[in-house]
Amino acid sequence: MTNLSVNINKVATLRNARGENVPDVVKFACDCERLGSDGITVHPRPDERHIKRSDVFQLRPIIKTEFNIEGYPSDEFMDLVLKAKPEQVTLVPDAPDALTSSAGWDVESNMEFLSNVVDRLREAGIRTSIFVGTDADNIRAAARAGADRVELYTKPYADEYPRCPEDAVAPFVEASRVAHQSGLGVNAGHDLNLENLRYFHESLPYLNEVSIGHAIICDALYLGIEETIRRYKECLGRTK
């Protein structure tokens, strides 16, 4: 079974545009869970342009499914997640001013750094996922670093999908096999949507979780969040 984690960053972006608490990020997260989301993802950035540190601590006690916090493991980020203790932390190599994640880690080149981060998270009882591309050696390096999972960066798949779905998904099929053989769980995220998610899910032999935010919020503007979550779960072969 592949879980759907809803990234609520864009809801916080909308809220912050007016400086008040509309829409209510905490209520939206609760509603997503009630409507079938298997988890909630946030990606707090240093400038707090969407999710704020205070949001993380307000969300932590009310999320009943899985709380996934993404981010670059700076000292500030590590302090945040070690205090909040989510079920999962996804490590991304974003620069502080990055608009969005645009590449995975070169794990081998950052082995000592990532291994130390993973060790600290494991000691706190937090599952770790390292954001990577599809290179097999890099995925094996993530396993050596001690990660529990990798999250596959799926923008290349989304970009290529309209031209040739088979070619687009092939590297990800192999990447999921390599991860599984290396003892890693497999997550995926970035530009997955209602057009390309079903094929991706049906093609990958191993896929624990997808994390989707931007597309879900865009679809919800037209469909409503309840129907949107239902359709995304349907793409994952889920009816509940």
- Burial state string for 108-142 with b = 16 or more CB within 10 A and e = fewer than 16: eebeeebeebbebbeeeebbbbbbbbbbeebbbbb
Instruction: Exactly one of 50, 66, 151, 190 is catalytic; name it.
Output: 190
Considering 43, 50, 66, 209, which one is annotated as catalytic?
Answer: 43
Options 33, 50, 66, 70, the catalytic residue = 70
Cα–Cα distance for residue pair 171/3, rounded to 1 Å:
21
Q: Is 180 a catalytic residue?
A: no
Please state, in angstroms and rounded to a whole number, the distance separating the CA atoms of residues 189 and 60: 22
Q: Is 4 within 8 Å of 236 (Cβ atoms)? A: yes
**What is residue 220's DSSP assignment?**
H
Q: CA 23 to CA 12: how far, in whole Å? A: 8
190 classed as catalytic? yes
Q: Report DSSP state, residue 195.
A: T
For residue 201, indicate whether it is catalytic. no
The residues annotated with a catalytic role in the active site are 43, 70, 190
